[in-house]
Amino acid sequence: MSAQIRESRDKSVGKGETLLEVRNLKKYFAVTEGVVRRRAIGNVKAVDGVSFTIARGEILGLVGESGCGKTTTGRCILQLETPTSGEIVFEGVNLEKLDQKAMVAWRQKIQVIFQDPYSSLNPRMKVGEILGEPMRVHRVEPNAAKRRQRIAELLTVCGLPAKFADRYPHEMSGGQRQRVGIARALCLNPDFIICDEAVSALDVSIQAQVINLLEDLREEFNLTYLFIAHDLSVVHHLCNRVAVMYLGRMVELAESDELFDNPMHPYTQALLSAVPVPDPTVEAQRSHQVPKGEVPSPINPPSGCVFHPRCPLAVDSCRAQVPEFRELKPGHWVACPRV
Partner 1 sequence: MAKLLEIENLRTQFFTADGVVRAVDDVTYDVNEGETVALVGESGCGKSVSALSILRLIPWPPGRIVGGSIRFLGKDLLQLSDPEIRRVRGHQIAMVFQEPMTSLNPVLTIGLQLTETMQYHLGMSNEQAEKRAVELLRMVGIADGERRLQQYPHHFSGGMRQRVMIALALSCEPKLIIADEPTTALDVTIQAQILQLMKDLSNRMGVALMIITHNLGVVARYADRVNVMYAGKIVEEGTAEQIYHSPKHPYTIGLLASVPRMDQHRGRRLVPIEGQPPDLTKLDNGCAYRPRCRWAFDRCAQAIPPLEHVGDGQMSACFRKHELGDDVKAAS
Ligand X SMILES: Nc1ncnc2c1ncn2[C@@H]1O[C@H](COP(=O)(O)OP(=O)(O)O)[C@@H](O)[C@H]1O
Query: Can you tell me which of 13, 140, 157, 211 binds partner 1, judged by CB under 8 A?
Result: 211
Q: Which does 298 bind (CB under 5 to 8 A by kind): partner 1, ligand X, Mg ion, none?
A: ligand X
Residues contacting ligand X: total by CB under 6 A: 12
Q: Which does 106 bind (CB under 5 to 8 A by kind): ligand X, Mg ion, partner 1, none?
A: none
Residue 71 touches ligand X, criterion: CB under 6 A: yes
Q: How far is the CB of 71 from Mg ion (least distance, A)?
A: 3
Smallest Cα–Cα separation from 189: which of 134, 149, 227? 134
Q: Which residues partner with 108 through β-bridges? A: none
Site string for Mg ion, 260-299 (x = CB under 5 A): ----------------------------------------
Contact window for partner 1 (CB under 8 A) among 102-110, 123-131, 209-217, 330-338? 209-217
Measured from the CB atom, the residue of 204 and 315 that comes closer to partner 1 is: 204
Smallest Cα–Cα separation from 112: which of 232, 223, 226, 216? 226
Q: Would you give the DSSP letter of residue 165?
A: G
Q: Would you give the DSSP letter of residue 92?
A: T
Q: How far is the CB of 243 from ligand X (least distance, A)?
A: 12
Query: Can you tell me which of 55, 58, 62, 71 binds Mg ion, judged by CB under 5 A?
Result: 71
**Beta strands per DSSP E along 14-102:** 18-33, 39-55, 59-63, 85-90, 93-94
What is the footprint of partner 1 within residues 142-181 (CB under 8 A)? 173, 175
| Integer CA distances (angstroms), 141 to 43, 107, 144, 151, 328, in order | 44, 16, 8, 10, 49
Alpha carbons 257 and 234: distance in angstroms, whole number: 13
Question: What's the chain's length in residues?
Answer: 339
Q: Would you give the DSSP letter of residue 247?
A: T
Q: How far is the CB of 210 from partner 1 (least distance, A)?
A: 8
140 Rama class: left (phi>0) / alpha (psi -120 to 50) / beta: alpha
Residue 257 touches partner 1, criterion: CB under 8 A: yes
Q: Which does 46 bind (CB under 5 to 8 A by kind): Mg ion, ligand X, partner 1, none?
A: ligand X
Half-sphere exposure of 284 (CA within 13 A, CB side): 3
Contact set with partner 1 (CB under 8 A): 1, 3, 6-7, 10, 65-66, 173, 175, 203-209, 211-212, 215, 230, 232-234, 236-238, 256-257, 260, 270-283, 288, 290-292, 294-295
Contact set with ligand X (CB under 6 A): 29, 44, 46, 64, 66-72, 298
